[in-house]
Amino acid sequence: MNQRHNALRALAAAVALAFVASPALAQEKVKVGFMLPYTGTFAALGNAITNGFKLAIAEQGGKLGGRDIDYVTVDDESDPAKAPENVNKLIKRDNVDVIVGTVHSGVAMAMAKAAKDNNALLLIPNAGQDEITGPLCAPNIIRTSFSNSSPGYAMGKVAADRGYKTVVTLAWKYAAGDQSVGGFKEAFEKGGGKVVKELSLPFPTVEFQPFLTEIASIKPDAVYVFFAGGGAVKLVKDYDAAGLRKTIPLLGPGFLTDGTLEAQGASAEGLLTTLHYADELDNPKNNAFRAAYKKAYNVEPDVYAMQGYDTGQLLAAGTKAVGGDMKKRDALIKAMQTAKIDSPRGPFSLSKANNPVQDIYLRQVVNKQNKAIGIAIKGYADPAVGCKM
Ligand code: PHB
């Protein structure tokens, strides 16, 4: 009897020790689903976001709220037609705790709808679709980037302040292009300018020649464009090759020259853009971030890398507050909404619509860098029309 009792005690002790020695056994991992473009014109953007996110996690010892992480990755190809199926894979097949994505506004729209329908947690590290932090806003959808109209609005103000009177716009015909141009036009015309022609072409096509010919014949004071990634590289080079760079200033949101300067070369020198980030912002966090990113990936970070990094930082703050227990959803969201994120862009907070309130810089390309030459709008808050939480 005594012997049996001792054996049982020894067994119980061994079991207890096994749990103490490997607490992970008792804890679920945090399952993160990336839905981003890894092919197509925005592939570099998706990769930069992923790298930035993973850098932030590495700085947390590779964990979230003290827990190990499982990653699931879907290439959304920036294709809105495939978006509902792709996001449902993450929600229903993979049962992820949080979705991180995406770049393209049309794809993000489908993701936001699915997140609402299924009460899934969605963190948006780029796509600016205005409605997502407007009428479609929800507590479980948080954006760490910008809304499409915001950088455009800032540039409209800059263009009017510079005394330009007439502008032609050229953009991809989808939400990001339309809303970027809309923001520009609103501020530019409020400041006394006039958008005399709005030109567009389907995403992601890059047959710019006929439009450049038309711009040359209209001779506006300036041109405002929305392009990003591979399309931005080609537009800037074509604009220069057409001989327009020196005669008609080319303006845009900073996506025009972010992550693209190596490929654009001399064609981008001197261009003015507006964005919530610039390469050489001299704050300790940006300096540390840029050095760490360069060391980890051997390339310079861009705005997309920074947004991915801040998405990682935000999720780290949220999960820390709940000890990695993703079922404590309300506390997790609250912690993210109130987190003070030390961002390379400078301080920002989240609005009631879960969109960053942040400075928008005026930048100029100098020696292959997007250099901040001023602040176009301080503490810009998207109007978030129609958002009721
Ligand atoms: C968007 O589709 O919302 C979008 C894509 C690329 C950018 C910015 C916005 O650089």
Instruction: Please calculate the CA angle 210-215-220 and round it to the nearest 5 degrees.
Output: 170
* Cβ–Cβ under 8 Å, residues 152 and 182: yes
Distance between Cα 127 and ligand 1 center (Å): 5
Give mean pLDDT, residues 280-289.
96
**Domains, the chain, with CATH or none:** 30-146+280-357 (3.40.50.2300), 149-275 (3.40.50.2300)
Instruction: Please calculate the CA angle 129-74-76 and round it to the nearest 5 degrees.
Output: 40
Asked if the model's pLDDT at residue 43 lies above 70, the reply is yes
Taking the CA atoms of residue 255, residue 258, residue 262 and residue 268 in that order, the dihedral angle to the nearest 10 degrees is: 60
Q: What share of the chain in percent tops pLDDT 90?
A: 92
Q: Residue 79 is encoded by which pair of tokens?
A: 């294709």
Distance between Cα 147 and ligand 1 center (Å): 9
Asked if the model's pLDDT at residue 22 lies above 60, the reply is no
Identity of the residue numbered 236: V
Asked if the model's pLDDT at residue 26 lies above 90, the reply is no
Asked if the model's pLDDT at residue 23 lies above 60, the reply is no
Asked if the model's pLDDT at residue 13 lies above 70, the reply is no
Asked if the model's pLDDT at residue 246 lies above 50, the reply is yes
User: Which atom of ligand 1 is least distant from the CA of 228?
Assistant: 10
Q: What whole-number distance in Å separates Cα of residue 256 and Cα of residue 271? A: 9
Distance between Cα 208 and ligand 1 center (Å): 19
Distance between Cα 79 and ligand 1 center (Å): 13
Asked if the model's pLDDT at residue 15 lies above 80, the reply is no
β pairing state of 166-172 and 69-75:
unpaired
State residue 1's pLDDT score: 43
Task: Among 45, 78, 105, 133, say which to mutate for ligand 1: greatest number of ligand atoms within 8 Å of CB.
Answer: 105
- Nearest CA to 52 among 292, 337, 355? 292
pLDDT level of residue 10 (50, 70, 90 thresholds): low
Q: Residue 1 is encoded by which pair of tokens?
A: 């009897």
Asked if the model's pLDDT at residue 4 lies above 80, the reply is no
pLDDT level of residue 6 (50, 70, 90 thresholds): low
First to last CA, the chain: 65
Q: Is 235 helix (H, G, I), strand (E, B) or coil?
A: helix
* Cβ–Cβ under 8 Å, residues 216 and 197: no
Distance between Cα 373 and ligand 1 center (Å): 23
Phi, psi of 348 (to 5 degrees): -145, 155
User: Which atom of ligand 1 is least distant from the CA of 104?
Assistant: 2
Give mean pLDDT, residues 178-182.
98
User: Which atom of ligand 1 is least distant from the CA of 255?
Assistant: 10
Query: What residues are in contact with ligand 1 under a 6 Å CB criterion?
Result: 103-105, 126-129, 148, 176, 228, 255
Tell how far CA 25 is from the center of its chain.
35
Give residue for tokens 């072409």: 201
Distance between Cα 2 and ligand 1 center (Å): 72
Integer angstrom CA distances of residue 209 from 226, 249, 269, 309, 378: 16, 17, 21, 37, 37
Question: What's the pLDDT tens digit per position in 88-135?
Answer: 999 999 999 999 999 999 999 999 999 999 999 999 999 999 999 999
User: Which atom of ligand 1 is least distant from the CA of 258?
Assistant: 10
Distance between Cα 308 and ligand 1 center (Å): 14
Distance between Cα 4 and ligand 1 center (Å): 69
β pairing state of 122-124 and 98-100:
parallel
User: Which atom of ligand 1 is least distant from the CA of 229?
Assistant: 10
Task: Among 77, 148, 276, say which to mutate for ligand 1: greatest number of ligand atoms within 8 Å of CB.
Answer: 148
β pairing state of 30-36 and 69-75:
parallel
Task: Among 103, 149, 203, say which to mutate for ligand 1: greatest number of ligand atoms within 8 Å of CB.
Answer: 103
Give residue for tokens 């993701």: 111
DSSP, residue by residue, 83-131: HHHHHHIIIIIS--SEEE--S-HHHHHHHHHHHHHHT--EEESS---GG
State residue 3's pLDDT score: 53
State residue 308's pLDDT score: 98
The dihedral sign for the CA sequence 65, 52, 365, 212: negative
Give residue for tokens 């014949």: 217
Exposure of 156 by Cβ count < 10 A (0-12 exposed, 13-18 middle, 19+ buried)?
buried
Q: What share of the chain in percent tops pLDDT 70?
A: 93
Question: What's the pLDDT tens digit per position in 127-179?
Answer: 999 999 999 999 999 999 999 999 999 999 999 999 999 999 999 999 999 99
The model's pTM is 0.93
Asked if the model's pLDDT at residue 84 lies above 60, the reply is yes
Tell how far CA 320 is from the center of its chain.
22
Instruction: Please calculate the CA angle 171-99-96 and round it to the nearest 5 degrees.
Output: 155
